[in-house]
């Protein structure tokens, strides 16, 4: 119900703002460009894709997703039949049983979730999505009310959307392409921000679900994860930019290939018909990709209308005016478009980050902060549309509010850390 209201509000606000610009400020062609505009059209003053083009982009995205979903869900099927998911469930069971008390001991959903979190940690978005959808499907089997999000699904999705990531590979690559002096300087702030955001998500949802976090198992795991992140920060801080890029590629690519190897070797050891198991899972990937098309079209069109109507420009001007009125420093405001659009669209936020780099220079404060915003959280509304859409959840309860609150904590932390590191 919350997503329905938010989606309706996006459309209404966009049309109202566009109408004001059309009838009071003389932008007589804004309605036309909002509907049929293409960002590649040199005559398009908005330089943004309209509704029709966005529909094509959404479907194209799902078609491209079919291959990735088929591959990783096929591998998940092999791992399940070989017992690998059960093994993962036993390893993380003591910790997850406290955060997800509704999940029975040894349930495969725990293994699916840890695969999703692992892919997120390594910045492997394409791998994280199929693992996450598989986790949601497993959790849906335990859900007594199939139309309403369960506590476990909300906790999982909020932790996933917080986007804990060890190395923001894509942001480093973009900064490098823009000839930043040190493309990797956003690494430590990004890592800290994603960790703080994840802890915030866990605290928010645990408070709502009345989960006691002051349990020895939870404290031990959190301290252990903190120690690993601290060691990684210490190690990477001693590397130069080229070595960090090489290390990140080795870590992310190497681990995903290691997972492939272990799954296949485990299946051969258990005498599983490996290829048949892969095909069974891959078919599910194809079906899932088709199922999420309507949800993705709906959310991307609403976001497109907000952007093409100029709503974001109005919001940015308002925020800047408030800080100017109180005499506060406003140099962080130039990076805020990335933070504001990040929960709505990863691609649009990436475009905002590049735009900030071009306008302000890749080594400016705004560009570095924009990079931290881009690498510090996931796309909340995209995640809600895809993951809940994949299992047919209509009532998301307090999931969106919790995710946006965790996003806000991440944004505030990113600004504070950027002033500490870059100001």
**Once rounded to an integer, what is the mean pLDDT over residues 116-124?**
73
Structure confidence by residue, pLDDT tens digits, 216-250: 999 998 899 889 888 877 887 777 767 776 776 67
Between 343 and 308, residue with greater pLDDT: 308
DSSP state of 384: I
CA distances from 11 to 32, 92, 384 (A): 16, 42, 18
What confidence score (pLDDT) does residue 151 get? 93
Highest mean pLDDT: which of 52-61, 198-207, 391-400?
198-207
DSSP, collapsed to helix, strand or coil, labels residue 312 as helix
| Amino acid 201: pLDDT | 93
416 backbone φψ class: left, alpha, beta (φ>0; ψ -120 to 50):
alpha
Range scoring the smallest mean pLDDT among 132-141, 215-224, 249-258? 249-258
Cβ proximity of 161 and 388 under 8 Å: no
- CA dist., res. 234 & res. 232, Å (int): 5
Q: What local confidence, expressed as pLDDT, does residue 252 receive?
A: 64
Q: Which 8-state DSSP code applies to residue 332?
A: G
Does residue 273 contact residue 204 with C-beta atoms inside 8 Å? no
pLDDT at 21 over 60: yes
| pLDDT over 70, % of the chain | 94
Residue of 423 and 260 predicted with greater confidence: 260
Residue count of the chain, please give it: 423
Q: Which residue has the tokens 């949802």?
A: 205
In this predicted structure, what is the pLDDT of residue 199? 92
């Amino acid at each position: 119900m919350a997503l329905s209201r938010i989606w309706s509000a996006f459309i209404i606000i966009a049309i109202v703002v566009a109408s004001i610009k059309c009838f009071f400020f003389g932008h007589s062609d804004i309605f036309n460009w909002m509907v049929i505009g293409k960002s590649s059209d040199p005559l398009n003053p908005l330089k943004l894709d309209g509704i029709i083009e966005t529909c094509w982009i959404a479907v194209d995205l799902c078609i491209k997703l079919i291959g990735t979903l088929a591959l990783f869900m096929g591998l998940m099927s092999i791992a399940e039949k070989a017992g690998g998911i059960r093994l993962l469930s036993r390893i993380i069971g003591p910790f997850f049983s406290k955060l997800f008390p509704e999940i029975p001991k040894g349930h495969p959903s725990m293994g699916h979730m840890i695969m999703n979190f692992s892919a997120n940690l390594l910045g492997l978005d394409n791998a994280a999505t199929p693992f996450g959808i598989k986790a949601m499907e497993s959790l849906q089997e335990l859900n007594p009310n199939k139309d309403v999000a369960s506590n476990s699904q909300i906790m999982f999705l909020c932790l996933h959307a917080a986007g804990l990531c060890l190395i923001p590979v894509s942001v480093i690559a973009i900064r490098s392409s823009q000839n930043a002096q040190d493309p990797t300087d956003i690494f430590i702030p990004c890592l800290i921000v994603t960790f703080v955001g994840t802890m915030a998500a866990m605290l928010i949802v645990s408070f709502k679900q009345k989960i006691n976090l002051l349990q020895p198992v939870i404290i031990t795991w959190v301290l252990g994860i903190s120690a690993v992140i601290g060691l990684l920060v210490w190690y990477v801080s001693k590397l130069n930019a080229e070595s960090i890029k090489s290390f990140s590629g080795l870590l992310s690519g190497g681990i995903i290939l290691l997972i492939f190897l272990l799954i296949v070797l485990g299946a051969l050891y258990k005498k599983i018909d490996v290829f048949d198991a892969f095909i069974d899972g891959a078919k599910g990937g194809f079906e899932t990709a088709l199922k999420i098309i309507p949800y993705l079209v709906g959310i991307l069109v609403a976001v497109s209308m907000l952007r093409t109507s100029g709503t974001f420009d109005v919001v940015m001007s308002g925020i800047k005016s408030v800080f100017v009125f109180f005499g506060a420093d406003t140099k962080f405001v130039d990076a805020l478009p990335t933070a504001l659009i990040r929960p709505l669209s990863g691609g649009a936020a990436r475009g905002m980050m590049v735009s900030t780099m071009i306008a302000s220079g890749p080594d400016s404060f705004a560009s570095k902060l924009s990079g931290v915003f881009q690498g510090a959280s996931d796309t909340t509304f995209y995640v809600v549309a895809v993951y809940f859409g994949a299992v047919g959840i209509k009532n998301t309860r307090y999931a969106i509010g919790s995710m946006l609150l965790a996003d806000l904590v991440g944004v505030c932390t990113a600004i504070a850390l950027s002033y500490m590191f870059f100001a």
